[in-house]
Amino acid sequence: MSSQREVRCRCGRWMWAPPGAGAIQCSTCHTVTQLHSLVDALRGAHRMIYGLQQLRRQYQQQQQPPQMMMAQRSPPQMMVAQRSPPQMMVQLPPPQMMMAQLSPPPPPRLLEALPSPFGKKRAVLCGVNYRGKSYSLKGCISDAKSMRCFLVQHMGFPVESILMLTEDEACPQKIPTKRNMRKAMRWLVEGNKARDSLFFHYSGHGAQQKDYDGDEIDGQDEALIPLDHETEGKIIDDEINEILVRPLVHGAKLHAVIDACNSGTVLDLPFVCRMERNGSYDWEYQGLGRIYKGTDGGGAFCFSACDDDEASGYTPVFTGKNAGAMTYSFINAVKTAGPAPTYGQLLNLMCSAILEAQSRLTYTDSDESSEPLLTSSEKFNIYATKFAL
């Protein structure tokens, strides 16, 4: 009786299988149970346990320094004496370690394209020089790098929360193409919440094109010019507003600095601050049509290099090298305005610096000076409201 095996049928009945039997039939349901499958299963389980034991031994050897492995190695006769018999259970590594050892290694990743989209302060900085083109620019990449240093050193932005898009970047997903710029803008506002400080900076070409949806007072859409615009097209203000502005929730703030031509209302914000030389100002409503251009309760502010129908420029007057006048004047104004400046103070400082610099340059009769422009999602008192990033 001891040489017989007890086998359970799938109907639940227990049966005794005689020695050497390959199959047995249930007297209740007449189901035939193959016995050799049980043997194969046991052998397979034994092979798996032995393989896991070998993987564990290899893992332990890799974790130990070479000299420690030599010191702890047992003599051959002791290793034979200490070897566990096959029927004994072995201690297996944790399940996650077993999966890592049995699964093939993941393919190598070239570069991590985007940092985590979560954090109280994060920024997207775009600098496009259009190298090799007849319309190439000289200082836009430098503008983006200067802005990054300013945000990190003076505004407390973590460097890992700043996404740079320039032609100098090694990662293909950080080249300022239309697709990458769209992706970066979506990353900037993803999951935004109260007390988030978001920052968008663009230095490059700007342009205008015909407005086809009837939401522009002047009949023109403003646009940013990505590196591949000749084949992929521009990024117009309607899309920028939809991506960057409308998702902003209550308590979240977005500040943008746009150093480009025709950039006055490139975020399509509904209110434009029209400031006189004496410092007085008035808010001009830009809404037209039924399309909502505001936020989801948050605040959006944009400092642009010039009005929609004006051209911006770069000047060596500030630094001795080509640099965007808007980028430099914004950084310098925040640095020199003292603690907790107002929006009015910054705007006046930027206008004064640019006008003074332009007065030292030689212009042709067709050249016109341009001044920074402030647009906002809501009207506010620019001399009472503190600027903060």
Residue 387 in domain: no
Average pLDDT (209-219) is 87
Could you tell me where the DSSP H helices lie in the chain? 36-63, 66-72, 76-82, 95-102, 140-154, 178-189, 229-232, 237-240, 325-336, 343-359
**Cβ 319 vs Cβ 357: under 8 Å:** no
Same domain? 28 vs 166: no
Residue 153 in domain: yes
Residue 287 in domain: yes
Q: Which residue has tokens 């297996």?
A: 92
Minimum mean pLDDT range among 12-21, 123-132, 169-178: 12-21
Same domain? 29 vs 158: no
Nearest C-alpha neighbor of 220 from the set 204, 206, 230: 206
Residue 105's pLDDT band (boundaries 50, 70, 90)? Answer: very low
Q: Which residue has the higher pLDDT, 199 or 113?
A: 199
Average pLDDT (74-103) is 47
pLDDT tens digits along 236-252: 999 999 999 999 999 99
The DSSP element (H or E) to which 162 belongs, if any, is: strand 162-166
Same domain? 133 vs 27: no
Give the per-residue pLDDT at 28.
73
Q: Which residue has the higher pLDDT, 159 or 107?
A: 159
Whether 265 has a pLDDT exceeding 70, the answer reads yes
Domain count, the chain: 2
Same domain? 37 vs 128: no
- Provide the whole-model pTM: 0.70
Give the per-residue pLDDT at 136.
95
Q: What range defines the domain where residue 26 resides?
A: 1-41
Residue 183 in domain: yes
Same domain? 29 vs 141: no
**Cβ 360 vs Cβ 253: under 8 Å:** no
**Active centre residues (catalytic):** 205, 261
Give the per-residue pLDDT at 364.
45
What's the full length of the chain, in residues? Answer: 389
Give the per-residue pLDDT at 13.
76
Residue 138 in domain: yes
Tell me the β-bridge partners of 55. Answer: none
Q: What secondary structure, in 3-state letters, does 262-331 show?
A: CCCCCCCCCEEEEECCCCCEEEEECCCCCCCCCCEECEEEEEECCCCCCCCCECCCCCCCCCEHHHHHHH
Burial of 8 (0-12, 13-18, 19+ CB in 10 A): exposed
CA 315 – CA 205 distance, rounded (Å): 15
CATH of the domain at 310: 3.40.50.12660
Torsion of CA 132, 137, 139, 144, to 10 degrees: -80
Give the per-residue pLDDT at 175.
97
Residue 27's pLDDT band (boundaries 50, 70, 90)? Answer: confident
Same domain? 164 vs 303: yes
Give the per-residue pLDDT at 215.
84
pLDDT tens digits along 140-198: 999 999 999 999 999 999 999 999 999 999 999 999 999 999 999 999 999 999 999 99
